[in-house]
Amino acid sequence: MPKAWIRERKKDYYYRKAKEEKYRSRAAYKLLQAVEKYHFIKYRDVVVDLGSAPGGWIKVARKIVGSKGFVLGVDLKPIEPFPQDNVRTIIGDINEPETLREISNALPKKADVVVSDVSPNISGIWEVDHARQIDLAQQALKIALETLKPRGNFFVKVFQGDLLDDFIKKVKKHFEVVRIMKPKASRTKSSEIFILGMHLKEALD
Ligand SMILES: C[S@@+](CC[C@H](N)C(=O)[O-])C[C@H]1O[C@@H](n2cnc3c(N)ncnc32)[C@H](O)[C@@H]1O
């Protein structure tokens, strides 16, 4: 890692806060702030967290759902286990049909919420990263549509760009309420924003 990047990170408010409050990532605050604003995860919910390593969002979700809920993390990378028995993780690629099967098998019932912070390896070529991120967001939407209960919620990270409007249209087709937000913890210079779809509509033919 370049030294300047490490120096910058140490000065970052949310990086330090995550260390102090023992979250595994600064990203935890993005989910926390979004839920504080829109209340889309509740006590006892069953939550699927796509792209969850190292586990910042998992911890936020587990705090909200409590001991009666369930959190399932999915990532290409292994995640250090959590001590609570209602948190499970799966190593898997969200593009693989096998991962969807594993998610469905691991859930105690249909999910109340699917969240996705999945990110591709950043190439630095803006159009390429935007397109890859939209592909991953579409895949997250597909998993949400398969695993959510009616009126369930979906929260997903995207990068701004030409393909975003079409993606938002797709989310609007399936969810009654759609919001676009950038939590404070998301760096201003980053093009990431989050789309929230609330209340999954009945299946469309
Ligand atoms: C920004 S990190 C997630 C941080 C996490 N929300 C947290 O709070 O700790 C993005 C994650 O997406 C994962 N990822 C990227 N492509 C994936 C894929 N196709 N399937 C599953 N996970 C993927 C990466 O391995 C990485 O851990």
Helix 13-20 with 3-11: angle, nearest 10 deg:
70
CB of residue 69 inside a 6 A radius of ligand 1: no
Residue 146 inside a domain? The answer is: yes
pLDDT digits (tens, 9 = 90+) for 91-124: 999 999 999 999 999 999 999 999 999 998 888 8
- Look at ligand 1, atom 13, and give the residue with the nearest C-alpha: 51
Give me the CATH number covering residue 52: 3.40.50.150
Question: Which are the catalytic amino acids?
Answer: 157
Residue 132 inside a domain? The answer is: yes
CB of residue 118 inside a 6 A radius of ligand 1: yes
How many structural domains does the chain have? 1
Residue 45 inside a domain? The answer is: yes
> Mean of the pLDDT values across residues 22-35?
95
pLDDT digits (tens, 9 = 90+) for 53-81: 999 999 999 999 999 999 999 999 999 99
Residue 90 inside a domain? The answer is: yes
Question: Residue 151's domain spans which residues?
Answer: 24-200
Residue 9 inside a domain? The answer is: no
Residue 14 inside a domain? The answer is: no
Residue 42 inside a domain? The answer is: yes
**Residue 9 clears pLDDT 90, i.e. is over it:** no
CB of residue 151 inside a 6 A radius of ligand 1: no
Residue 35 inside a domain? The answer is: yes
Instruction: Give the Å distance between the CA of 181 and the centre of ligand 1.
Output: 20
CB of residue 76 inside a 6 A radius of ligand 1: yes
Q: What is the pTM of this model?
A: 0.94
Burial (CB count <10 Å: 0-12, 13-18, 19+), residue 170: middle
